[in-house]
Homo-oligomer: A and B are copies of this chain.
């Protein structure tokens, strides 16, 4: 088994340099030159084995997802990702595990020109904590507290794939049904390797009044925008975008709605003035992601989900609560 120092040396050799990195891995701290005139955006997320991913998940997927959830937070702030630290806790430095994990992590970081600049390696129950640092032009970060009554509410991509993948895990699959198998693979991929909407977040700067990533579930996350902005949201269940993998599955509407509000989708939910909606078509095209209007904001509080007949679906479905 390699020692910790050998692991760090190997990591150092594999990591790409990044803009503004004066000192990367290999000192007591990283030294970074922030872009002039920009503010920093910092996000920290932990994935714990057996809680956020199954113990037997492929290590490359684990590394990828750890990067994805952090980049998704930066995306929700409209930030350009720049640097990242990795705190890796593992039972042992088994190269068969940590090498693909690091490869999965670096694959996504490299794709976003984000440099791994330091971290810590410790022995213990498997968990990863990433801290991602990005930047935005001063004053332009997307927040949760700027939404206004009358705003339209949008979501990127589709909702429900991750929750559907979780729900389908371990259920019976007809081995002859190629289409069902393909759909399941696509859903599993969305759960294991979500796409952080990094370009979209940056494109929404100066346009969206509020933005959040849908990690804990649409109801919970939009609820944060409502609470912090002092508004109410009305969402139409039928408007929630469904992926081509999820759509053909024979799921009753109530259950499908639960999946769509279920979380782990890492799409962006944002509010903007109706007069600015026209700009979204171009942004969707440029960022290669569909943008769907799912409702609107008004005075009041809370997130209210309406069915096809305009009835409020009660009780509102809660999002992911880590200690629930």
Contacts and interface: CB of A to CB of B under 8 A. Distances in A.
A16 to B, nearest CB: 17
Interface in A9-47: 22-23, 26-34, 36, 39-47
A48 B228 contact: no
A195 to B, nearest CB: 16
B85 A46 contact: no
A74 interface: yes
A321 to B, nearest CB: 6
A213 interface: yes
A45 B23 CA distance: 17
A106 interface: no
A124 to B, nearest CB: 4
Contacts of A143: 23, 27, 31
Contact of A48 (B3, B45, B46, B123): B123
A147 to B, nearest CB: 13
A192 interface: no
A43 B29 contact: yes
Chain A interface size range:
35 or more
A202 to B, nearest CB: 14
B117 A48 contact: no
A158 interface: no
Interface in A81-116: 83, 85-87, 89, 92-93
B28 A43 contact: yes
A3 B324 contact: yes
Contacts of A40: 30-34, 40, 133
A144 interface: yes
Given A5-B321, A39-B33, A213-B28, A123 B89 contact: no
B83 A322 contact: no
A228 B143 CA distance: 43
Interface in A139-158: 139, 141, 143-144
Given A28-B73, A40-B32, A89 B48 contact: yes
Given A34-B40, A41-B30, A92-B323, A122 B52 contact: yes
21 contacts: A3-B324, A27-B143, A29-B43, A29-B73, A32-B40, A32-B41, A34-B39, A42-B85, A44-B87, A44-B120, A44-B129, A44-B131, A46-B89, A47-B122, A48-B123, A49-B124, A51-B123, A93-B323, A123-B323, A124-B127, A127-B127
Minimum-distance CB pairs A-B, first 10: A48-B124, A29-B43, A28-B76, A129-B129, A131-B131, A44-B85, A125-B125, A87-B129, A28-B73, A32-B40
Interface of A: 1, 3-5, 22-23, 26-34, 36, 39-52, 73-74, 76-77, 79, 83, 85-87, 89, 92-93, 117-125, 127, 129, 131-134, 136, 138-139, 141, 143-144, 211-213, 228, 321-324
Given A42-B117, A42-B133, 5 more contacts: A3-B323, A29-B41, A31-B39, A31-B143, A87-B87
